[in-house]
């Protein structure tokens, strides 16, 4: 009988991380081959909006970061897949903040550009009305 795995995550958190991790890591389009490759993409900025939202949702808390141990080898014996993934993410400085900033760049800035163009067109129209009077 194998010894039970010691876990630093409660069962519900581990289950939620596992579900979201399944959407990020694995085979198929839009997935990464490993949690480490997902982390490398976060560092390089090559993630979609959906992927960034998933990373924000599973990013380790400060309390979890204290308990999880990053292994440069990538081998996490005795840890669950969720713990290994969180250890990888936790090794990225300001992981959640980085993902938040990238998400902002992907979503809010394009919308802001549209609003600014619209405002400029409205100002131009107002000037045209004023000058015609």
Q: Closest Cα to residue 17, out of 27, 9, 26?
A: 9
pLDDT of 3-12, one tens digit each? 455 567 888 9
- Angle (nearest 5°) at CA 105 between 108 and 115: 35
- Angle (nearest 5°) at CA 104 between 64 and 41: 60
pLDDT of 91-123, one tens digit each? 888 888 989 888 888 888 778 888 888 999 999
Crossing angle of helices 35-44 and 95-132, in 10° steps, is 40
Mean pLDDT of 63-68: 82
- pLDDT of 6 reads 52
- pLDDT of 3 reads 47
Predicted model pTM: 0.68
- pLDDT of 123 reads 92
Q: Closest Cα to residue 13, out of 69, 58, 68, 63?
A: 58
């Amino acid at each position: 009988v194998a010894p039970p795995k010691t876990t630093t995550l409660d069962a519900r958190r581990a289950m939620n991380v596992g579900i979201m991790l399944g959407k990020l890591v694995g085979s198929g389009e839009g997935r990464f081959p490993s949690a480490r490759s997902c982390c490398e993409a976060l560092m390089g900025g090559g993630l979609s909006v959906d992927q960034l939202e998933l990373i924000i949702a599973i990013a380790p808390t400060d309390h979890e970061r204290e308990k999880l141990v990053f292994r440069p080898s990538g081998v996490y014996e005795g840890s669950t897949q969720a713990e290994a993934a969180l250890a990888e993410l936790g090794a990225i400085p300001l992981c959640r903040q980085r993902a938040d900033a990238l998400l902002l760049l992907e979503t809010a800035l394009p919308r802001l550009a549209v609003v600014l163009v619209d405002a400029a067109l409205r100002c131009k129209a107002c000037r045209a009305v004023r000058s015609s009077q």
